[in-house]
Amino acid sequence: MAELPPAAILITGATDGIGLAMARLWAQQGWRQRPARLILVGRKALADLDAAFFNADNYCQADLSRPHAPVQIAQWLDAQEIGRLDLLVHNAGVGYVGDTGAQSATNVRQLIAVNLEAPLALTHQLLNRMTPTGKIVFISSVASALPGPDYAVYTATKSALNGFVRNLRIELAAAPATRTMEVQLILPGAINTGMHAKSGATLDRMNWQRFPPADQVAAQIAAVIEGPRATATIGGLNRVVRFAGQNLSPLVDGAMRRTQKRAAAAPARLPEAPPHCVITGAADGIGRALALRLASAGFRITGLDFDAERANQTRQELTAAGGTIEFVQVDLANQDALDAALQTLRAGPAVDLLIHNAGINAVGHFAHMEWPPQQMVLAVNLVAPLLLTRGLLAANHLNAGGTVVCISSLSRFVGYPGAAVYAASKDGLASYARSLSVALAGQNINVLTVYPGPTRTAHARRYSPDNSREARRMAPAELAQRIVAAVEKRQRTLIPGAGNQLFAVAGHLAPRVTERVMKRAILDKVKG
């Protein structure tokens, strides 16, 4: 019998922690009864690494926080004449532990870039190199199932990664060329590695030494990768924690909020006249409906939007109705423009109600669409809300007793194959809102997460592959009324509409069923 060729295994974050431990394990044992050809990716210079293990033939230096890193890795593979990959392990990750408002904008961007954008972009870049029976592994975290008041951006990136994997798996299984390819999601807990110190955590306070060592966890992960499980949580206690975080969230989150409130007394809130509301994407659709509804309730509105013509129309309509609105024209996907808009907001009155409504989509098979439009979805739907919230918190510009509203999507519960990156962005935003709800409890700032289903807007019409039942979608004015009512009641979650609520419950109890429904409704009808 002919000897099998080595299995080509690419591992990101391979210079330290579990990435390095897995690499050493596969170098000794091989993978799937084959010797391993390792491709190790890391940020460090080759000269700073162990020369007995790392060399010019197996190490690609690439900084995954840089947008060009996936192309750089592909070019390195070409130079090494590596045309096929059997195993791709997205392991690289960075963290942050500390006050949400104290986290720098640069650090927020770095976490999103390394933990989320890089694995998505690298998968897009290398998908055509994967063997038909190959496997793509995403290393997430059990923290994604919980609120992380001290590491909200980290949990958001990992939750977004989970949502992406869920939908990518459906998309690849639907395409003949990738039907036999495996996509695996692995969720370890805390590990005794250098990541905690780098993230700013107080090691003594968290009893860092009690965490399992990298070698032990790497062996567990490698064993799971050898097997067929699509999703696996590493460690018995972590499985219990994940179950509680997913199924007992009112109890878990409530207990954490009470602890946070005891730790910090909320300052007295000075009454504003009128209260100030900031709405992203306020020129049209849901944002416009919210602006009209809130203006009639006495709010002064500041709208952020890219469309100057629509903004002017909305301003005229709202002013004619006796309301007050100012617009800041901004491309939320542009870093400099976002920073400028934030400076404008910080120069104005403090914010009583912040609504993250702006969103865009890119519908089609992830593998077949260009990457830049999908990257823009992440920028508008996830990066911008996180940076705007961070900037206002850092300036102490959110009034105690106020509310933050994050408009996620029903896809959080039912999936969205055919828009995997959109689903990822909305899952990440929902996770961030959950963490923020705990983090801001001490300031008596309520955080409301909204999970709307199809809405009768130009946005939905533009991206839906089937508008034959558009009349059955919820009208923006009705959705706005429900959101404002939830704000007034200081609710923390809102799934608007009985049908959407039933579908969300079905998604929780029978996810495979709702995923098949969404596949027929979206993926099977899109081109490409």
Ramachandran region of residue 235, left (φ > 0), alpha (ψ -120 to 50) or beta? left
Which pTM was predicted? 0.95
pLDDT tens string, the chain, 528 residues long: the values are 457 789 999 999 999 999 999 999 999 999 998 999 999 999 999 999 999 999 999 999 999 999 999 999 999 999 999 999 999 999 999 999 999 989 999 999 999 999 999 999 999 999 999 999 999 999 999 999 999 999 999 999 999 999 999 999 999 999 998 999 999 999 999 888 776 666 666 656 666 668 889 999 999 999 999 999 999 999 999 999 999 999 999 998 888 888 887 766 555 455 557 999 999 999 999 999 999 999 999 999 999 999 999 999 999 999 998 899 999 999 999 999 999 999 999 999 999 999 999 999 999 999 999 999 999 999 999 999 999 999 999 999 999 999 999 999 999 999 999 999 999 999 999 999 999 999 999 999 999 999 999 888 777 677 776 676 777 788 999 999 999 999 999 999 999 999 999 999 999 999 999 999 999 988 988 865
Instruction: Examine domains 7-255 and 275-525 and report if their fold is the same.
Output: yes
Q: Closest Cα partner for 356 from 416, 281, 262, 426?
A: 281
The DSSP annotation for 337-376 comes to HHHHHHHHHHHSPPEEEEEE-------S-TTTS-HHHHHH
Token digits of residue 107: 């650090």
Residues in the chain: 528
CATH superfamily, domain at 7-255: NAD(P)-binding Rossmann-like Domain (3.40.50.720)
Rounded CA-CA distance 7/91 in Å is 18
Whether residue 499 contacts residue 309, with contact meaning beta carbons closer than 8 Å, is answered with no
Q: Where are the domains of the chain?
A: 7-255, 275-525
Q: Closest Cα partner for 429 from 445, 411, 455?
A: 411
Interacting residues of 349 by C-beta distance below 8 A, sequence separation 6+: 272, 276, 300
Rounded CA-CA distance 350/32 in Å is 59
- What CATH code would you report for 275-525? 3.40.50.720
Angle between helices 69-79 and 118-126 in degrees, nearest 10:
40
Whether residue 147 contacts residue 435, with contact meaning beta carbons closer than 8 Å, is answered with yes
Token digits of residue 193: 């590695």
Runs of H (alpha helix) within 93-151: 105-112, 118-126
The DSSP annotation for 205-269 comes to TTTGGGSPBHHHHHHHHHHHHHS--SEEESSHHHHHHHHHHHH-HHHHHHHHHHHHHHHSPPPPP
Q: Name the residue with tokens 């918190």.
A: 393
Rounded CA-CA distance 184/367 in Å is 17
